[in-house]
Amino acid sequence: ENGHQLWLRSGSGKSINVVCNKKSSTLNIAEEELKSGWKGQAGKNIYLIIKRDDLIKGDGFILSDNKIQANTDLGILYGVYELLRRQNVGDDIKFDVCNPAYEYRVLNHWDNLDGTIERGYAGNSIFWRDGEDAFVVKEEDKVLWQEYARANASIGINGTVLNNVNASPEMLTHNVLNRVKAIADILRPYGIKTYLSIKFSSPSMIGGLETSDPFDSKVNEWWNEKAKEIYQLIPDFGGFLVKANSEGQPGPQDYGRTHADGANMLADAVKPYGGVIMWRAFVYQTSEEDRAKQAYNEFMPLDGQFRDNVIIQVKNGPIDFQPREPFSPLFGAMKSSSIMPEIQITQEYLGQGIHLVFLAPMWEEFLKSDTYRKGKGSTIANCTDGSLITQKYTAIAGVSNIGLDANWCGHLFAQANWYAFGRLAWNNSLTSEQIANEWLIQTFKNTDQKSAIFNPDWELNFLKPIKQMMLDSREAAVNYMMPLGLHHIFAAEEHYGPGPWWAPKGIRKDWTPPYYHQADSVGIGFNRTATGSNGVCQYSENVSLLFSNTITCPEMYLLWFHHLSWTYKMKSGRTLWDELCYRYDSGVKQVRHFQTVWDKVQPYVDFQRFFHVQRKLREQSRNAQLWKDACLLYFQQYSHLPIPYDIERPVHELDVIIKEDLERH
């Protein structure tokens, strides 16, 4: 049992009659899935009906006891997966209109052409490899791509960007595009469109032009021709994802043009074919300006200047996928552009391939955050899914955590994050609890002899405690890494272990932890109020007021917005220093508790998956302890206060941790 089957394990052998009023490769898949996965009454007739209905939006569907109706073939396939999911999970199958929250539900792979993956923790790329056979499409490639497509379709994902945002210009060369076509052909019946990340300077790098200036007519022509070439190969190609003028990537500003100028040029090239440009707002430069403010400063003035097939892709937080950030102030603010959230499924900053961290609670917190841009209730979900602010396109992207590892995601429980992304992209009001419940039942129930049939107490003894562990896991990680609004205090560039001290000479300040935690003899935290960087002013008035005031600022964001004295009184009555100590300590305790919870469920899990998770949890515990010790001993040099005597003492030496860290980097 290597976890390769993900959440798709049903199969009952019960017969069913499927009646469908149309034929297509997508509908064939729908029929096959229904026949092999059906768990309802044997011999039942199920009707798959393509018929327009105004209640149905996009690839949505209407479900009922014996019928799935949709406007599109893909809608039928989604309906089938929903029906099977409900059968597996034990939910009611009654009349229900199910429409997607976002029209574009896209995975972003940060896969490089040589097969490595930036911030990937599950092996090499499933799309690319190095070597002489790099572009040979093998049978095993196709099998894997098909499994990948099926898994995505089962949770409603309908787009995939096949390569890293730090894109190689080679991506647009002939051999590569042929392979993209081969991938697209496999993904198509499952309703998944392919997209590519492009390098903005491709015209000069591979096209032989002297410039890549968007105002140069030859450059325009080059992109138009490139688009034509791609669409000849892949008529339903989705479009381009672009990281420009960000972290050293080229962009329109290299030629004195704006992000809008650059995006619009590309938008015009793909427009005739119905393509879109996903243009990232993840930009910041070495400057005196607070990094958290830069994306807003750059993009807000451009609102209204983008072509209608440009979608601005904005990371959930204003900095960078931290364990916890407040939402990016661009959400709800740019009202004349299509805005899409970008969240990170791969756990770059949340324990990578080692820590068990279920991310749905983080995304739920984000989607439910209230921007107040159109009064109370202007949640990120409402502001981005078209319900509150009209957008030409609605979309959401997740940075993928998938690789060649047998279980796809490195950590078995990281599969739940892939699953959660798809489910939330389809329905952005689902709760983390629902998602964990679905995932656990489909992944662990009825999988072998130890299954629920033999263990009537499965729900009580497995489902309940493991679900609770999942739901608590993100807060635990925040506690042992960066509680109370601390952020970006990782060791060097690896973004895994602690490194609040890390600040080698010559490196840009905004890449070093001391820039973010600002610890000194007085206190700790980044002052983003009016007396500091004034980052708060980028939010709506209500939110700005809320965050500015230490009394109303949620404690989870306290040190994100405020620099406070070590003896500042917290709501708990403790001093800030003591509270910090307790948070770190409770994070460690939580992970220790997860170990016990997992050990107890051994009778309910096959031994391979059991030992896999057990080992990971041990390593997570060791790392959590290291985080606590490193951060408390480091910050104590500034606070000069004792670690409260009722919590466990550190077991590591700070100088040793630092020495080992410096040796590694």
Which residues contact ligand BDP by CB under 6 A?
118-119, 165-166, 243, 247, 282, 320-321, 348
Residue whose C-beta lies closest to ligand BDP: 320
Closest CA to 404 of 353, 348, 342, 349: 353
Token pair of 582 as six digits: 């307790």
C-alpha span between 104 and 153 (Å, rounded): 13
Q: Which is nearer to ligand BDP, 36 or 166 (CB)?
A: 166
Output the smallest distance, CB 119 to ligand BDP, in A: 5
Output the smallest distance, CB 205 to ligand BDP, in A: 19
Is-catalytic flag, 96? Answer: no
Sequence-ordered alpha helix ranges (H) in 484-565? 513-517, 541-548, 558-561
Q: Which is nearer to ligand BDP, 73 or 325 (CB)?
A: 325
Give the count of alpha carbons within 13 A of 470, CB side only: 28
Q: Which of 213, 261, 320, 472 is catalytic?
A: 320
- Is residue 518 within 8 A of residue 622, CB to CB? The reply is no
Q: Which is nearer to ligand BDP, 169 or 650 (CB)?
A: 169
- Is residue 388 within 8 A of residue 380, CB to CB? The reply is no
CA quadruple 416, 418, 424, 427: dihedral sign: negative
Output the smallest distance, CB 121 to ligand BDP, in A: 13
Q: Which is nearer to ligand BDP, 320 or 475 (CB)?
A: 320
Q: Which is nearer to ligand BDP, 486 or 543 (CB)?
A: 486
Decide: helix, strand or coil at residue 276.
Answer: strand
C-alpha span between 626 and 620 (Å, rounded): 10
- Is residue 125 within 8 A of residue 109, CB to CB? The reply is yes
- Is residue 556 within 8 A of residue 591, CB to CB? The reply is no
Output the smallest distance, CB 342 to ligand BDP, in A: 8
Output the smallest distance, CB 111 to ligand BDP, in A: 12
- What order of strands is seen across the sheet that includes strand 61-64? 16-20, 44-50, 67-70, 61-64, 96-98
Helix pair angle (432-444, 73-89), 10° resolution:
80
Output the smallest distance, CB 511 to ligand BDP, in A: 10
Q: Which is nearer to ligand BDP, 290 or 342 (CB)?
A: 342
Bridge partners, 241 (sequence order): 197, 278
Q: Which of 32, 247, 457, 619 is catalytic?
A: 247
Is-catalytic flag, 629? Answer: no
Give, for 440, the enclosing helix (H) or strand (E): helix 432-444
Phi, psi of 489 (to 5 degrees): -110, 40
Q: Which is nearer to ligand BDP, 151 or 492 (CB)?
A: 492
Q: Which is nearer to ligand BDP, 165 or 171 (CB)?
A: 165
Output the smallest distance, CB 428 to ligand BDP, in A: 22
Is-catalytic flag, 510? Answer: no
C-alpha span between 83 and 94 (Å, rounded): 10
Output the smallest distance, CB 145 to ligand BDP, in A: 24
Bridge partners, 313 (sequence order): 280, 340
C-alpha span between 267 and 277 (Å, rounded): 6
User: Which residue matches tokens 């001391």?
Assistant: 514
Output the smallest distance, CB 287 to ligand BDP, in A: 18
Beta strands per DSSP E along 112-219: 159-161, 193-198
CB atoms within 10 A of CB 94: 9
Q: Which is nearer to ligand BDP, 165 or 350 (CB)?
A: 165
Q: Which of 73, 213, 348, 629 is catalytic?
A: 348
Burial of 288 (0-12, 13-18, 19+ CB in 10 A): exposed
Beta strands per DSSP E along 348-491: 395-399
Catalytic machinery residues: 247, 320, 348
